[in-house]
Amino acid sequence: MRMIVLYIVFAAFAALGFAAIVKKPGSVYTNQPDQKNPMEGKKVRFTENEAEPENADGVRGHLEAVGESDGRRSFYDRVVKRILDVTLSFGGLVVLSPVFLIISLWIIIDDPGPVLFTQKRIGRNKQYFRLHKFRSMKMCTPHDKPTHMLENSEQYITRVGKFIRTHSLDELPQIWDIFIGNMSIIGPRPALWNQELLTSCRDQYDANDIKPGLTGWAQINGRDELEIPVKAKLDGEYRSRESFLFDCRCLIGTVVSVARGDGIVEGGAGRMKKHEVTRK
């Protein structure tokens, strides 16, 4: 009986591993060179320009390259953490499969349409990748606007969406993003491709040099309530303190934070006021 279970687990891992190899190139736009981030692998700064359209951070301007990113990573980050990510994400995909099924059916019944919501996000060294979430908003919702920038955001959130967002269940499909190698369990939350101010602020602390995470230090220290400079500084603090014990601390803190519903502000994420943007 034990051998049968081991064979089943091995077969499941092999099947998911094969799927990851097949899906990985498309998940980072390898087959779409025109979608590549022009700032990938570069250090950047944000330059304000009121003549430009407002970006996802609520400010106007653009990124400028100021050098190359060295992207140096510790042995823990490169090897140990990847082993932990693969092991835990595989376990999560298997154990939580019934939850995935229930939420998927609920979404379809509540608001017919795709179960998953994909979005271009910024990964390690500013490489774009496709992030997956359970769809929590109506089909008519603007695609590349953060919730806090939508006018009356509550009107777009579905009934099931309100529940899964409150309990962070909409993030569960990112377990696949972890397994495939675009994310880690612990790390800075992946920014939208057009959150240019957050990207530049994180560069001040080398926080873009590691994989983004399902949860992280900033997530358990304010989450949506944080303004951009504070969030970036916390992401940088995680970057400098990254270790097995610190990751465990972040993971335990996440469980407590989710149980309490801390830091969730629908339609009111802590973005910087325009007059608070530091000019560079």
Element (H, E) at 130: strand 128-134
For every residue of 137-169, DSSP letters joined together read B-TTS-TTS-GGGSTTGGGGB-HHHHHHHHTTG
- Write the CA distances from 20 to 15, 33, 178, 221, 258, integer angstroms: 9, 20, 10, 32, 29
User: Are the CB atoms for 232 and 202 separated by under 8 Å?
Assistant: yes
Kindly give, in sequence order, each residue whose CB lies less than 8 Å from that of residue 210, ignoring residues fewer than 6 positions away.
73, 77, 124, 184, 187, 188, 239, 242
Q: What is the mean pLDDT of the chain?
A: 88
User: Are the CB atoms for 77 and 210 separated by under 8 Å?
Assistant: yes
Share of the chain above pLDDT 90, in %: 68
Element (H, E) at 249: helix 244-260
| CA–CA dist 274, 59 (Å, integer) | 6
Residue 224 exposure: Cα atoms within 13 Å on the Cβ side: 18
First-to-last CA distance in the chain?
65
What is residue 34's predicted lDDT score, i.e. its pLDDT? 86
- Beta carbons within 10 angstroms of residue 78's beta carbon: 11
* pLDDT tier, 241 (very low <50, low <70, confident <90, very high otherwise): very high
* pLDDT tier, 269 (very low <50, low <70, confident <90, very high otherwise): very low
For every residue of 171-239, DSSP letters joined together read GTTHHHHHHHTS-EEESPPPPBTT-HHHHHHHHTTTGGGS--EEE-TTGGGTGGG--HHHHHHHHHHHH
What is residue 270's predicted lDDT score, i.e. its pLDDT? 45
| CA–CA dist 158, 88 (Å, integer) | 30
Over the stretch 189-203, which tens digit does the pLDDT of each residue have? 999 999 999 999 999
- Write the CA distances from 76 to 72, 98, 185, 247, integer angstroms: 12, 32, 14, 11
Answer yes or no: pTM beyond 0.85. yes
Two tokens, residue 70: 């060295």
Two tokens, residue 34: 């025109």
Over the stretch 58-111, which tens digit does the pLDDT of each residue have? 899 999 999 998 878 899 999 999 999 999 999 999 999 999 999 999 999 998
